[in-house]
Amino acid sequence: MCWSPAYDDNEHVMKLFKKGKSNKTFIKEVDCHRAAAELGVAPRIIDFYVGGTVKGLGPLSYIVMEKCDQSIIGLLKSQKGILTQLQQNEIENLYKKLDTILILHNDSNLNNLMIKFCPNFKFYLIDYGMSKKTKGNMTTSYPLMMQRITRESNAIIKNSDQKK
């Protein structure tokens, strides 16, 4: 986490990219993330830096983005493994919106589906490193995310039943 008065009064997170990721790949990720943020399906990018060297770490790039409150895993645990219909619809809409701008997220895992509670409850997709400029979220990424959510929900429900 990071904070700077140069950005605003809010907390932000910084995603660091160490050596191994080309500047071209990094810029593609920033471009896809920024386009998704403009649609309201990704946290807003505050700043980013391409290249540079940090002593002891080597080449380094980073993205600073607005901080989300928790991942879908935390939400599922707090709701005892159950998503409301509204929440399910919100998740589906993330993927539909990405299809409208031809961005395939391509990394549907539970750590990449985040929630921000203020000012309103909102889902975001993060980590656009594997994204591509093409359509296909509703045939590949969304079903995969829902399978993973269902599997996690079932594990939470089973675990809570065993504790009774």
- Answer yes or no: is 91 within a domain: yes
Mean pLDDT of 15-35: 80
Structure-model confidence comparison of residues 46 and 21, the more confident one: 46
Residue 122, domain extent? 12-158
Residue 6 falls inside a structural domain: no
CATH code of the domain containing 102: 1.10.510.10
Question: Does some domain include residue 63?
Answer: yes
Question: What average pLDDT does this structure show over 18-45?
Answer: 86
Report yes or no on 7 lying in a domain.
no
Per-residue model confidence as pLDDT tens digits over 89-114? 999 999 999 999 999 999 989 999 99
Residue 3 lies in a domain: no
Torsion of CA 144, 145, 151, 153, to 10 degrees: -160
* pLDDT for 121: 87
Of the pLDDT bands very low, low, confident and very high (cuts 50, 70, 90), residue 118 is confident
How many structural domains does the chain have? 1
163 lies in some domain: no
Q: Decide: residue 61, CB within 10 A, 0-12 exposed, 13-18 middle, 19+ buried.
A: buried
Burial zone of 114 (CB within 10 Å; 0-12 exposed, 13-18 middle, 19+ buried): buried
